[in-house]
Amino acid sequence: MSLARVLEPEVMDSADDARDYDRMDHTAVNRQFVDDLLAEAAAAGFVMGESDELLDLGTGTAQIPIELLRQRPLWRVLGVDLAASMLELGRQNIAAAGLAPRVRLEQVDAKRLPYADGGFPMVISNSIVHHIAEPRVVLAEACRVLRPGGVLFIRDLLRPSDDAEVHRLVEIYAAGANDHQRQLFDDSLRAALTLAEIRQLVAELGHDCQRVTATSDRHWTWRMAKG
């Protein structure tokens, strides 16, 4: 039996949270996310139009858009997040990377997206779901704004089975972090969904739950091409 889910604050909007999150070494995880996303897009025959803009839900400090545009410099990204402190750092990161013309950031609640149905050819998210008390709402919104023929790619943490596994993952993947950063990771693992829970939500939304798979010892991924 897995650990009970312990919710964490939906919005990481303190300056300390934003700064410590941004300074954690997400390089390998972000690169793997982008590599896997691009492989999925290629398999689906996805082509980004010149005027198209993909949507990144829970963009945080914009690390995923920056890594994505390193590999696809002609793409355009709209990143949304509810945390003003995260977005402030994100804009600084985008400017430092010289990507301001191709990445826009907006303070938006992913549970109530102010965008038209089918407005985006691609919707992506890395680690928003564990922040949401009722993640089905965010998943439904992601599907709503995805264009027919578009690609959905959502990845998040897996909740471990027990305290010992939480401790093991923190020791491995936050070994060089400070105490606050280690606590953030610990809290996030405890707030995450199990594979069974996320598959049930996807099935309830009318999609193939077998498209949700465990993709590392601490992540699940939902890949979908919208028909």
pLDDT in tens, 35-90: 999 999 999 999 999 999 999 999 999 999 999 999 999 999 999 999 999 999 99
Q: Are strands 103-107 and 212-214 parallel, antiparallel or unpaired?
A: unpaired
Instruction: Identify each DSSP E strand in the chain by its residue range.
Output: 54-57, 77-81, 103-107, 120-126, 146-157, 212-214, 219-225
Mean pLDDT of the chain: 95
For residue 102, give the nearest of 57, 56, 69 by alpha carbon.
69
Of 3.50.50.60, 3.40.50.150, 3.40.50.10740, 3.40.50.300, the CATH number of 15-225 is 3.40.50.150
* AA identity, residue 119: G
Q: What is the pTM of this model?
A: 0.95
77, exposed or middle or buried, with CB in 10 Å at 0-12, 13-18, 19+?
buried
Sign of CA dihedral 10, 168, 67, 91: positive
Contact between 195 and 158 under an 8 Å Cβ cutoff? The reply is yes
What's the pLDDT band for 24 if we cut at 50, 70, 90? confident
